[in-house]
Amino acid sequence: MERCKTSIKERGIVKKRISEEYGFRNCIRMLVKNRYLYCLLLPAVIYLIALDYRSMYGIQLAFKDFNARLGITSSPWIGFTHFKKMFSDSYFLYVLWNTIKISFGRIIFTFPFAIVIALAFNELRQRHLKKVLQTIYTFPHFLSWVIVSGVIVNFLGYMGPVNAVLDFFGVERHVFLGDKKMIVPILYITDIWKEAGWNSIIYMAAIAGIDDSLYEAADLDGASRWKKIWHITLPSIRGTILVMLTLKVGTVLNGGFDQIFNMSNMVVQKTIEILDTYIYRITFQQSPDFAYSTAVGLFKSGVGFLMVMCVNKLSKKLEGTGILE
Amino acid sequence: MKKRITLGDYVNGILLVLWGLLILYPFYNSVLVSFMTQEEFMRKPFALFVENPTLIAYKEIFSDSKFLYGYKNTLIILLIKLPISVLITSAAGYALSRKKFFLSKTINNLAVVTMYFSGGIVPLFLTIKSYGLMDNLFSVILIGLFSVYNMILVKSFFYTIPDSLEESAKVDGANDIRIFIQIYLPLAKPIIATVALFEAVNIWNEWYNAMLFLSKSKNWPLQLVLREIISNATAKVSDTVEIDEEIKETFALNVQMASVVVTMLPIMLVYPFVQKYFMKGLTIGAVKG
């Protein structure tokens, strides 16, 4: 009780101080006093204004009938016409649903894999082997999807190693990347293959932070390996898992542009179309409608932002730490 | 007490090693194919070594000036963008890690928002166009010159350095810029290395902005040159459903794989030695500022 009172008192004082500091005169004084800090910030601020916020000015196109001759500012307003068109377009709705499906598929199939790798890796005791394996696991993360899709085109190719093995066992060769049924699982598998090792590091760091005495106590009680994983390791990294999961859910509209864009082809293009590839295509097709694709982009970016914010709040409530600051 | 190695340990170890091999083999196979002749490739695609290695594919890709231009453009972008980017990012990270000052919170929030909300491609496209940077390498250099993610890494690192350093320097009459350059920057070497490496990899892997803004292939960075070669190949994937014979006629695969190899080689060679810096970045990022 006593402590509570003083803290409220202190808070009052702090508030007073802040209001004093933000008076006009003090403002100027603060500006002058910190002028060198502003100098250090200046290039970054110029960048943000000249690129990111300057671009955001163009968002108004989503509510305008864009005319290249008139430019962004002078084109006439037309309200929500583009958005109405968007939601009456069955292909857009299909793409939206497809994006969500593919993203949730990633959460179900690829997300747990990093945790599994971290847990298995933690049981490994040979230090040298650990080091070598970690280098191998994390390496593909640093290659672009352009490179990785090149490697996959060869590996899953008609004459490639996988088909060679199938052929050896008398199974007919298969065009994996040109198969509408196979392509989505292939997206998940290659995603795991490229990123799971890197994503597991964050869990390994969390596992490394667990108090050893917990395991020692469990050993004394004769707990098995599985019991220790289930009752000590997993509960201890629950916070990390939840934060990563909420972040994934928050960015569900992304769907993985780089991967899909580079692994797509005429046959499977529609099967793995996501919002980002759709926006790209309608922007750079033969007769582009800039205003309409701005509207689709705004929908994606806006809803995505709201979701990240909500999920951040949720994560703060659940774990006390937000994914944002 | 030394623990006994049980059967479970062996199974676990073997599975982990297999997973490692599964990651390595596709890369290894790509390297092998790049040295193969068509005849050998048709005979045994699941190879562990090449019988008659040939440099035909490499000769072919370097007989075309595309790859040389690609290397040149990527290096130009790297040399200009990397130092500027690291400087801007770490300066901003330092300033925002200091005690709160007027607008510092606002600037920080405005920066973080751009990580999750953007105008989209059309507005960005029009912005770059209005600056007259179409078909100019500087479009690619400009975009991403300041990285908010890296800024947060730097900032989190500076939080861990005690304020007393800054205070004593201030007593000696040093201003913030001098304190940053002479005291804090040298202390931050490990995180600066991490940020520089992340940025270098990003620049090396850049293809998307180049695809949007550079139409002349003379201006393309390496990855975009590679992308054209590979996407021609993925496009062919769909043709083969009907015409199986055609794929046997054209042996473009060793050329494609040679292109993949020359593009990823620098990262492959450097990565094992700098891996620890990347990991450091990830764990610092996880702690958050």
CATH value at residue B141: 1.10.3720.10
Beta bridge partners of A64: A77
Which residue is it, tokens 């000052």? Answer: B101
For the cut 90, the answer to whether the pLDDT of residue B166 exceeds it is no
A162-204 pLDDT, tens digit each: 998 998 899 998 889 889 999 999 999 999 999 999 999 989 9
Give chain A's mean pLDDT: 88
| Facing A144 at nearest CB: one of B25, B223, B278 | B223
Whether the CB-CB separation of A206 and A240 falls below 8 Å is answered with yes
For the cut 90, the answer to whether the pLDDT of residue B3 exceeds it is no
The residue of A154, A220, A289 whose CB has the most chain B CBs within 10 angstroms, and thus the best one to mutate to test that interface, is A154
- Regarding whether B145 and B210 lie in a shared domain, the answer is yes
- Regarding whether A98 and A37 lie in a shared domain, the answer is no
A325 occurs within a structural domain:
no
Nearest Cα residue to B259 out of B209, B203, B220? B220
User: How many angstroms separate the Cα of A55 from the Cα of each of A76, A255, B81, B150?
Assistant: 19, 23, 21, 21
- Any B CB within 8 A of A232 CB: no
For the cut 60, the answer to whether the pLDDT of residue A272 exceeds it is yes
A80 occurs within a structural domain:
no
For the cut 60, the answer to whether the pLDDT of residue B161 exceeds it is yes
- Regarding whether A175 and A105 lie in a shared domain, the answer is yes
Beta bridge partners of A77: A64
Q: How confident is the model at residue B251 (pLDDT cuts 50, 70, 90)?
A: low
Write out the residue range of the structural domain in which residue B155 sits.
Answer: 61-287
Give chain B's mean pLDDT: 87
A324 occurs within a structural domain:
no
What's the token pair of residue A154?
A: 């060869």
Instruction: Pick the range with the lowest mean pLDDT from A48-57, A315-324, B16-25, B276-285.
Output: A315-324
For the cut 90, the answer to whether the pLDDT of residue B75 exceeds it is yes
A151 occurs within a structural domain:
yes
User: How close B23 comes to chain A (CA, Å)?
Assistant: 7
The CATH code of the domain that includes A189 is 1.10.3720.10
Which residues 243-262 in chain A show a CB within 8 A of chain B? 258, 262
CA distance A274 to A269: 10
- Any A CB within 8 A of B132 CB: no
Q: Enumerate the residues of chain B whose CB falls inside 8 A of the CB of residue A229.
A: none
Nearest Cα residue to A189 out of A157, A130, A250, A148? A148
Q: What is the pLDDT of residue A3?
A: 47
Q: How confident is the model at residue A13 (pLDDT cuts 50, 70, 90)?
A: low
Which residue is it, tokens 């999750």? Answer: B116
Nearest Cα residue to A147 out of B56, B199, B259, B5? B259
- Regarding whether B123 and B3 lie in a shared domain, the answer is no
What phi and psi, each to the nearest 5 degrees, are found at residue B30?
Answer: -60, -40
Region A119-128: mean pLDDT is 91
Tell if the CB–CB gap between B282 and A201 is shorter than 8 Å: yes
What phi and psi, each to the nearest 5 degrees, are found at residue A260?
Answer: -65, -40
ipTM, two decimals: 0.90
Q: Enumerate the residues of chain A whose CB falls inside 8 A of the CB of residue B283.
A: 201-202, 205
Region B92-103: mean pLDDT is 89
- Regarding whether A105 and A160 lie in a shared domain, the answer is yes
Region A246-255: mean pLDDT is 88
- Regarding whether A35 and A126 lie in a shared domain, the answer is no
The domain tally of chain A equals: 2
- Any B CB within 8 A of A165 CB: yes
In sequence order, the 6+-apart residues with CB closer than 8 A to the CB of A310 are A250
- Regarding whether B130 and B28 lie in a shared domain, the answer is no
What phi and psi, each to the nearest 5 degrees, are found at residue A77?
Answer: -75, 145
Q: How confident is the model at residue B242 (pLDDT cuts 50, 70, 90)?
A: very low
Residues of B3-19 as b/e, b for ≥16 C-beta within 10 angstroms? Answer: eeeeeebeebbeebeeb
CA distance B64 to B283: 43
A128-173 pLDDT, tens digit each: 999 999 999 999 999 999 999 999 988 998 888 899 899 889 999 8
Q: How confident is the model at residue B287 (pLDDT cuts 50, 70, 90)?
A: very low
Q: What is the pLDDT of residue A142?
A: 95
Beta-sheet strands, E only, within chain B:
none
Q: Which long-range contacts (CB under 8 A, 24 or more apart) does A42-45 make?
A: A43/B87, A43/B88, A43/B91, A43/B92, A43/B146, A44/B88, A44/B89, A44/B91, A44/B92, A44/B107, A44/B111, A44/B146, A44/B151, A45/B107
User: How close B161 comes to chain A (CA, Å)?
Assistant: 17
- Regarding whether B173 and B113 lie in a shared domain, the answer is yes
Query: A233: helix, coil or strand?
Result: helix
Q: What is the helix, strand, coil percentage profile of chain B, to 5?
A: 75, 0, 25
Residue type, B25: Y
CA distance A176 to A186: 8
Tell if the CB–CB gap between B26 and A151 is shorter than 8 Å: yes
Residues of A122-150 as b/e, b for ≥16 C-beta within 10 angstroms? Answer: bebeeeeeeeebbbbbbbbbbbbbbbbbb
CA distance B211 to A7: 57
Domain stop point among B11, B29, B54: B54
Q: How confident is the model at residue A1 (pLDDT cuts 50, 70, 90)?
A: very low
Which residues 198-217 in chain B show a CB within 8 A of chain A? 201, 205, 207-208
- Regarding whether B77 and B20 lie in a shared domain, the answer is no
Region A92-121: mean pLDDT is 96
Region A255-274: mean pLDDT is 93
Write out the residue range of the structural domain in which residue A25 sits.
Answer: 17-74
Q: How confident is the model at residue A323 (pLDDT cuts 50, 70, 90)?
A: low
Q: Enumerate the residues of chain A whose CB falls inside 8 A of the CB of residue B227.
A: 146, 262
Region B99-114: mean pLDDT is 89
Q: Chain A residue with minimal CA distance to B92?
A: A41
- Regarding whether A99 and A238 lie in a shared domain, the answer is yes
Whether the CB-CB separation of B151 and B96 falls below 8 Å is answered with yes
Q: How confident is the model at residue A15 (pLDDT cuts 50, 70, 90)?
A: low
- Regarding whether B178 and B38 lie in a shared domain, the answer is no
| Facing B201 at nearest CB: one of A22, A142, A159 | A142
- Regarding whether A91 and A31 lie in a shared domain, the answer is no
Q: How confident is the model at residue A286 (pLDDT cuts 50, 70, 90)?
A: confident
Whether the CB-CB separation of A265 and A153 falls below 8 Å is answered with no
Domain stop point among A53, A74, A95: A74
- Regarding whether B147 and B233 lie in a shared domain, the answer is yes
- Regarding whether B114 and B35 lie in a shared domain, the answer is no
Query: A77: helix, coil or strand?
Result: strand
Whether the CB-CB separation of B120 and A278 falls below 8 Å is answered with no
Q: What is the pLDDT of residue A24?
A: 76
CA distance A44 to B212: 24
A122 occurs within a structural domain:
yes
Region B55-76: mean pLDDT is 91
- Regarding whether B127 and B50 lie in a shared domain, the answer is no
Q: What is the pLDDT of residue A120?
A: 94
Q: How confident is the model at residue A321 (pLDDT cuts 50, 70, 90)?
A: low
Nearest Cα residue to A276 out of B201, B221, B139, B118? B118
- Any A CB within 8 A of B273 CB: no
A210-232 pLDDT, tens digit each: 998 999 999 898 888 889 999 99
- Regarding whether A60 and A106 lie in a shared domain, the answer is no
Instruction: Pick the range with the lowest mean pLDDT from A112-116, A286-290, B144-148, B213-217.
Output: A286-290
Q: Chain B residue with minimal CA distance to A32?
A: B102
Q: Chain B residue with minimal CA distance to A43?
A: B88
The domain tally of chain B equals: 2
- Regarding whether A177 and A68 lie in a shared domain, the answer is no
More confident residue, A262 or A16: A262
User: How close B103 comes to chain A (CA, Å)?
Assistant: 9
Angle at B141 between CA B136 and CA B142, to 5 degrees: 95
Region B240-259: mean pLDDT is 62
- Regarding whether B69 and B24 lie in a shared domain, the answer is no
Nearest Cα residue to B76 out of B157, B136, B9, B2? B136
A5 occurs within a structural domain:
no
Q: How confident is the model at residue A9 (pLDDT cuts 50, 70, 90)?
A: low
CA distance B142 to B133: 9
